[in-house]
């Protein structure tokens, strides 16, 4: 079988709840909803960490943060400027794009990198149009084009889309399969004064009933943006998502126009979730201190469309992890690798309808952010904060909204069982020098790589 082209479209800070295909009546995301109808949607796909850089590093490497060492969002070493040097945070870890490139794929990046050294093409990418940092104003963004730091003119979502379309047009007749990362900065903040009227106007009369108004969470961290009017913030958030949705539609239309739709797997997901008032929080995992592991922070959309190969209209309800993405891409690209060296398992056969959904047996997914680790099953979610809590336990069957923490009510035997399983799993996914529990992660950013002996002082920004 001819290996397919692969396009990964990755959102930034988009919770599973955001899309129309997930049941959101507020959202105007017709192209992503159509993509879900034409392919497979996963209801329970979880990021590896509820903040961007660690989550993205796990997608790329198949390793957990306490293995690859990207433990917080990267605030230093993105470009060589202001006295800083660019840092390749994943230098010692091959990414699936390294393997794809070595096996004949032409690899391109359009958009956000945020794994250090953004001005330097790396990890098998031949085409490299990258944001200089992790985000910022949507108009006239700082980008890297042809190895130069430039200030582009225009709206960043549309600029990323145009670059992605250009890459596809350039390479689709080359005789080799291509891989393309389309990494949008949407719908990440800033939201107010940063989006064209044509997208904002879609939500002029919206009541945003999908975004609850709740009492402020006691762990909520203050951000200047969050003092702005709720309706204006939500209008910007959803407008950013709709602009991205338009880009998804243009990419899929180009594939159809070029006659390569059936030769191309298109995947849509997000790096991490986001709370727009959910649980009384504005933000993601580091929207609170200590960091939170609510489903709204760790569950993300995952849609795959491959006409003629992935059956239409499938909805998977089993539990899937970002750790599974690396082996899935490797299987689709028909690339041999040491399966035993990775914690995840490919779901390529499940996408194709060749294997059953992961709904039977004792299935669990795991998450981490610094000293916070999570085990999530269908019924139980256990959150352990090292070294001394506070810990959490939720019965997701009786309490899917995670309202009642049962950590002081549940049988000790149950908590011990869950804790032991968490400890055992992470024992094999942790290196002493990159152990998130002891690295000093605060949620305020990472600016240095680890050394062979651990993290140097100043590797992480101080607490807010």
The pLDDT tens digits of the residues spanning 68-101 come to: 999 999 999 999 877 778 999 999 999 999 999 9
**Distance separating alpha carbons of residues 310 and 303, to the nearest angstrom:** 11
In this structure, what token pair is assigned to residue 301?
A: 């959309």
The CA–CA distances, whole Å, from 178 to 257, 274, 460 equal 17, 31, 37
Contacts of 389 (CB under 8 A, 6+ apart): none
Verify cis geometry, omega within 30 degrees of 0, for the bond prior to 251. no
Task: Give the burial string for 233-254 (b: 16+ CB within 10 Å, else e).
Answer: bbbbbbbbbbbbbbbbbbbbeb
Give the start-to-end residue ranges of the domains of the chain: 5-351
Q: Find the angle CA(401)-CA(406)-CA(411) to the nearest 5 degrees.
A: 140
CB 258 within 8 A of CB 324: no
**179 Cβ contact list (under 8 Å, min separation 6):** 5, 6, 7, 8, 97, 100, 105, 106, 107, 108, 333
Q: Are 189 and 118 in contact (CB under 8 A)?
A: no
Positive or negative: CA dihedral 382, 388, 389, 393: positive
Domain made up of 5-351: CATH architecture = 3-Layer(aba) Sandwich (3.40)
Here the tokens at position 207 are: 């009541």
* C-alpha count within 13 angstroms, C-beta hemisphere, residue 24: 26
pLDDT tens digits in sequence order for the chain, 464 residues long: 589 999 999 999 999 999 999 999 999 999 999 999 999 999 999 999 999 999 999 999 999 999 999 999 999 999 987 777 899 999 999 999 999 999 999 999 999 999 999 999 999 999 999 999 999 999 999 999 999 999 999 999 999 999 999 999 999 999 999 999 999 999 999 999 999 999 999 999 999 999 999 999 999 998 655 667 999 999 999 999 999 999 999 999 999 999 999 999 999 999 999 999 999 999 999 999 999 999 999 999 999 999 999 999 999 999 999 999 999 999 999 999 999 999 999 999 999 999 999 999 999 999 999 999 999 999 999 999 999 999 999 999 999 999 999 999 999 999 999 999 999 999 999 999 999 999 999 999 999 999 999 999 999 999 76
The Cα 277–Cα 286 span in angstroms is 14
Dihedral of CA atoms 84, 435, 275, 266 in degrees, nearest 10, equals 80
Q: What pTM, to 2 d.p., does this model score? A: 0.97
Cα–Cα distance measured from residue 291 to residue 156, given in angstroms and rounded to the nearest whole number: 29
Nearest to 291 by CA among 155, 389, 357, 414: 389
Q: Which residue from 111, 115, 99 is spatially nearest to 55, judged by alpha carbons?
A: 115
**CA separation, residue 21 to residues 30, 42, 183, 276, 456 (Å):** 9, 11, 21, 18, 45
Q: Quote the CA–CA distance of 148 and 358 in Å, as a whole number.
A: 46
Using alpha carbons, select from 3, 18, 51, 8 the residue that is nearest to residue 298.
51
């Amino acid at each position: 079988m001819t290996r397919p082209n692969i396009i990964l479209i990755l959102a930034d800070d988009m919770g599973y709840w955001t899309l129309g295909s997930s049941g959101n009546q507020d959202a105007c995301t017709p192209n992503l909803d159509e993509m879900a109808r034409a392919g497979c949607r996963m209801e329970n796909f979880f990021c590896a960490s509820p903040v961007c850089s660690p989550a993205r590093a796990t997608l790329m490497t198949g390793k957990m943060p306490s293995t690859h060492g990207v433990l917080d969002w990267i605030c230093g070493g993105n470009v060589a400027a202001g006295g800083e040097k660019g840092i390749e945070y994943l230098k010692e870890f091959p990414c699936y794009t390294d393997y794809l490139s070595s096996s004949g794929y032409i690899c391109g990046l359009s958009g956000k990198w945020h794994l250090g050294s953004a001005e330097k093409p790396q990890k098998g990418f031949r085409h490299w149009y990258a944001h200089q940092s992790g985000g910022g104003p949507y108009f006239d963004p700082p980008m890297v084009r042809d190895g130069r730091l430039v200030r582009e003119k225009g709206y960043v979502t549309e600029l990323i889309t145009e670059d992605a379309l250009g890459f596809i047009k350039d390479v689709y007749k080359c005789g080799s399969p291509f891989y393309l990362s389309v990494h949008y900065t949407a719908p990440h903040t800033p939201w107010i004064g940063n989006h064209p009227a044509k997208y904002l106007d879609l939500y002029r009369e919206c009541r945003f009933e999908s975004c609850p108004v709740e009492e402020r969470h006691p762990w909520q961290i203050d951000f200047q943006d969050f003092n702005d009017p709720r309706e204006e913030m939500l209008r910007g958030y959803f407008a950013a998502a709709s602009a991205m949705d338009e880009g998804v539609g243009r990419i899929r239309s180009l594939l159809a126009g070029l006659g390569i739709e059936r030769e191309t797997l298109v995947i849509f997901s997000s790096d991490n979730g986001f709370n727009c008032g959910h649980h009384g929080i504005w933000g993601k995992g580091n929207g609170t201190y200590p960091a939170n592991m609510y489903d709204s922070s760790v569950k993300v959309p995952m849609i795959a469309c491959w006409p003629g190969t992935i059956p239409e209209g499938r909805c998977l309800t089993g539990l899937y992890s970002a750790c599974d993405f690396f082996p899935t891409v490797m299987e689709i690209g028909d690339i041999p690798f040491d399966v035993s060296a990775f914690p995840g398992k490919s779901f390529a056969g499940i996408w194709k309808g060749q294997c059953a959904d992961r709904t039977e047996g004792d299935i669990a997914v795991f998450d981490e952010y610094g000293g916070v680790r999570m085990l999530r099953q269908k019924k139980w979610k256990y959150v352990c904060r090292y070294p001394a809590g506070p810990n959490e336990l939720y019965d997701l069957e009786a309490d899917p909204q995670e309202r009642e923490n049962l950590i002081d009510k549940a049988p000790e035997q149950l908590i011990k069982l869950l804790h032991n399983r968490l400890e055992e799993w992470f024992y094999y996914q942790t290196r002493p020098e990159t152990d998130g529990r002891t690295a000093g992660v605060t949620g305020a950013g990472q600016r240095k790589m680890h050394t062979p002996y651990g993290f140097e002082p100043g590797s992480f920004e101080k607490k807010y």
